[in-house]
Amino acid sequence: MNIALAQFNPIVGDLTGNAHRTVRWIERAREKGADLVVFPELSVVGYSPHDLLDNVHFMDAVEVAIRYIHAHVPPDMGVLVGAPIRNPNPVGKKLLNAALLLERDVPARTTAKMLLPTYDVYDEYRYFEPAERQEVMEFRGMRLGVHICEDMWNLEEYATYHMYERDPVAELVAQGVDVLINLSASPWAHDRHVVRTGIIESLCHRHNVPFVMVNQVGANTELIFDGDSSVFGADGQLLACAPSFEESLLLWNTDHTVACERPPRERIEDLHDALVLGIREYVDKTGAFDEVLIGLSGGIDSAVTAALAVEALGPERVTGITMPSVHSSEGSINDSESLAQNLGIAFHELAIEDIVDSFEKTLTPLFEGTPFGIAEENIQARSRGVLLMAVANKYSRMVLTTGNKSELAMGYATLYGDMSGGLAVLADVFKMDVYALARFINDRAGTVRIPVSSIEKPPSAELRPDQKDEDSLPPYPLLDDILQRYIEERQDEEVIAQATGQSVSFVRGILDAVDRNEYKRKQAPPGLRVSVKGFGSGRRMPIVARVNRKDIERMMHELQEDSTA
């Protein structure tokens, strides 16, 4: 039997668009000789539709879209699509996260997801009731073990948030299956490929059954999907794999058991391609603006953001604006200009001096006699924000913000200033990775795209004379290490202090800064998620909160003294 893996890129909520494209893909798969085409999880609606699912009208429309696809299945084929369906049981959540096997003139057969991720960016139990049982689907004499995404993720060694009671894959295998088929919408993050592959290999070894995994590709808001769809033999060997970060229709004949190798990919290459895809998809799928605008400071963050945007959209859709102040170095303006030249993008210079002066003059009655401080620094950043947004509003463009994860973590950014824009490209990229991206971009181009001095000069916000990031922040290699341990690995101060050779009070200062700046990140634009824990919808911290590490220590001592007294 020929199985086509449809590494498909749906738009969230775009039921008619997704349905029309699904039908075209089915046609293409038929031309290639496929007997069965497999689409990703929730392929009809895109992952994730979030609260669109709460609208009765939306679910009515989903049913229309499914009927439309079903009506267009050729007589000689089977099609597996992913879609939310209504829970026939009046008790429990109103929907099921289902896979539907569609064949001409036969009622759809359905199976539903049993393990519903409800952690990090996932909210599935908000909408879906878990399936009570798994049943094998027979198709052309083959027993298909169809299951959905998380259903394969219940191996003890991977259960970071939740170890599940049920094992849907084992339940399917127990009924006898010829092939396991997983419909996924599994977003990309560093190391995800390795983890995903490890799980599938373990499952093949454990159950001695071939495994087909079809993953969504593309990006929807903050989530980037790499695809990575692949087929593994019963012995856990890779038999076929789709390219990463692009749509692909991959055909596998179930008799084909010759192992192949996935072309090796580097960590920074993956990160680069993920961000490029994320930018392109966000701009194109929101559809409100064709072009983007970036404030160029001469620093590394805006340079990398601009270079990525050019790769995503082409130079003709990117404009850079430098907005020097009295504190800007000559180098910064030159670096911005050379960057724009290297990238071939439109470039403007708008000095903010007069604007800052007029703010300061207007504020004189209230500010007279006070020293230069945060208020004055922010006026500069915010004047730039207003200018960028004005140009964006005037010429229908989207502003891309350029702050990185290290800065956002520490609150080293100005709300309504450099945080103004539609998409935060580097919001989940630590500063040291921004450097790595810059070098990667230049290396791959074989020429200087990011000016060398943007890479080599000490980072500075240039909001006061001779300011350097390291006046306010620890050196980035150390800072990034501490932040990564705290935010992504949830280590606490003692563990981090020990691992990094720093004092507990030094580490505590950094963790407190991260906690304290939750309110800024609350108002940040959506950021592209590339780690297992970004600052977007996967991190839900209370804004009103007091975390008192020191007081708890004191309370513990008090208790110990009482009990020994």
Positions marked catalytic = 41, 113, 149
Angle at CA 196, nearest 5°, toward 190 and 198? Answer: 110
By beta-carbon proximity to a second copy, the closer residue of 16 and 208 is 16
Shortest Cβ 440–a second copy spacing (Å)? 26
- How far apart (Å, rounded) are the C-alpha atoms in residues 62 and 18? 11
Task: Give the pair of three-digit tokens for residue 390.
Answer: 């004005």
The strand pairing partners of 183, in sequence order, are 148, 214
Shortest Cβ 318–a second copy spacing (Å)? 16
By beta-carbon proximity to a second copy, the closer residue of 259 and 541 is 541
The end-to-end CA distance of the chain, in Å, is 77
User: Would you count residue 12 as binding a second copy (CB under 8 A)?
Assistant: yes
- How far apart (Å, rounded) are the C-alpha atoms in residues 21 and 41? 16
Determine contact, residues 525/401, Cβ cutoff 8 Å.
Answer: yes
Which positions ≥6 away from 313 have C-beta within 8 Å? 279, 280, 283, 291, 292
Shortest Cβ 51–a second copy spacing (Å)? 5
By beta-carbon proximity to a second copy, the closer residue of 456 and 562 is 562
By beta-carbon proximity to a second copy, the closer residue of 119 and 174 is 119
- How far apart (Å, rounded) are the C-alpha atoms in residues 434 and 455? 9
**Which range, of 50-58, 202-210, 330-338, 404-412, touches a second copy by CB under 8 A?**
50-58
Determine contact, residues 229/241, Cβ cutoff 8 Å.
Answer: yes
Shortest Cβ 286–a second copy spacing (Å)? 6
Count of chain residues binding a second copy (CB under 8 A): 113
User: Would you count residue 27 as binding a second copy (CB under 8 A)?
Assistant: no
Task: Give the pair of three-digit tokens for residue 508.
Answer: 């505590």
263-292 positions binding a second copy, by CB under 8 A: 281-282, 285-287
Buried b / exposed e across 428-452, counting CB within 10 Å, b at 16+?
Answer: bbbbbbbbbbbebbbeeeeeebbbe
**Which range, of 12-20, 229-237, 238-246, 295-303, touches a second copy by CB under 8 A?**
12-20
285-324 positions binding a second copy, by CB under 8 A: 285-287
By beta-carbon proximity to a second copy, the closer residue of 220 and 484 is 220
User: Would you count residue 458 as binding a second copy (CB under 8 A)?
Assistant: no
Shortest Cβ 498–a second copy spacing (Å)? 14
95-154 positions binding a second copy, by CB under 8 A: 118-119, 123, 125-126
By beta-carbon proximity to a second copy, the closer residue of 92 and 176 is 92
368-407 positions binding a second copy, by CB under 8 A: 370, 373-376, 378-379, 382-383, 385-387, 389-391, 393-394
Shortest Cβ 220–a second copy spacing (Å)? 5
**Which range, of 25-33, 51-59, 425-433, 473-481, touches a second copy by CB under 8 A?**
51-59
Task: Give the pair of three-digit tokens for residue 288.
Answer: 């409100």
Is residue 537 helix, strand or coil? coil
By beta-carbon proximity to a second copy, the closer residue of 229 and 420 is 420
User: Would you count residue 422 as binding a second copy (CB under 8 A)?
Assistant: yes
**Which range, of 170-178, 305-313, 362-370, 454-462, touches a second copy by CB under 8 A?**
362-370
User: Would you count residue 258 as binding a second copy (CB under 8 A)?
Assistant: no
Rule CB under 8 A: choose which of 105, 261, 330, 354 binds a second copy.
Answer: 354
Task: Give the pair of three-digit tokens for residue 382.
Answer: 């915010």
Cis status of the peptide bond prior to 383, with omega within 30 of 0:
no
- How far apart (Å, rounded) are the C-alpha atoms in residues 555 and 280? 52
498-517 positions binding a second copy, by CB under 8 A: none
Q: What is the helix (H) or strand (E) element at residue 305, kind and residue range?
A: helix 300-313
The strand pairing partners of 399, in sequence order, are 293
Shortest Cβ 518–a second copy spacing (Å)? 10
Which positions ≥6 away from 72 have C-beta within 8 Å? 23, 26
By beta-carbon proximity to a second copy, the closer residue of 503 and 523 is 523
Pairs from 385-391 (Cβ < 8 Å, separation ≥ 24): 385/414, 385/416, 385/417, 385/418, 385/419, 385/420, 386/355, 387/321, 387/323, 387/350, 387/352, 387/355, 388/293, 388/295, 388/321, 388/323, 388/420, 388/421, 389/420, 391/293, 391/319, 391/321, 391/348
User: Would you count residue 16 as binding a second copy (CB under 8 A)?
Assistant: yes
Shortest Cβ 241–a second copy spacing (Å)? 27
Rounded to the nearest 10°, the torsion over CA 7, 12, 14, 17 is -20
Q: Where are the beta strands (DSSP E) in 185-272?
A: 211-215, 217-220, 223-226, 230-232, 238-241, 248-253
User: Would you count residue 79 as binding a second copy (CB under 8 A)?
Assistant: no
Q: φ and ψ at 241, to 5 degrees?
A: -150, 145
By beta-carbon proximity to a second copy, the closer residue of 239 and 463 is 463
User: Would you count residue 420 as binding a second copy (CB under 8 A)?
Assistant: yes
User: Would you count residue 490 as binding a second copy (CB under 8 A)?
Assistant: yes
CB atoms within 10 A of CB 240: 21
Rule CB under 8 A: choose which of 262, 348, 457, 464 binds a second copy.
Answer: 348
Rule CB under 8 A: choose which of 208, 362, 503, 505 binds a second copy.
Answer: 362
By beta-carbon proximity to a second copy, the closer residue of 139 and 535 is 535
Rule CB under 8 A: choose which of 32, 67, 267, 439 binds a second copy.
Answer: 67
Q: Which string of x and - marks every residue 521-540 that binds a second copy (by CB under 8 A)?
A: -xxxxx----------x-xx
- How far apart (Å, rounded) are the C-alpha atoms in residues 44 and 68? 11
User: Would you count residue 220 as binding a second copy (CB under 8 A)?
Assistant: yes
Determine contact, residues 186/152, Cβ cutoff 8 Å.
Answer: no
Rule CB under 8 A: choose which of 105, 264, 465, 543 binds a second copy.
Answer: 543
User: Would you count residue 441 as binding a second copy (CB under 8 A)?
Assistant: no
Rule CB under 8 A: choose which of 40, 49, 233, 299 binds a second copy.
Answer: 49
By beta-carbon proximity to a second copy, the closer residue of 143 and 348 is 348
163-182 positions binding a second copy, by CB under 8 A: 163-165
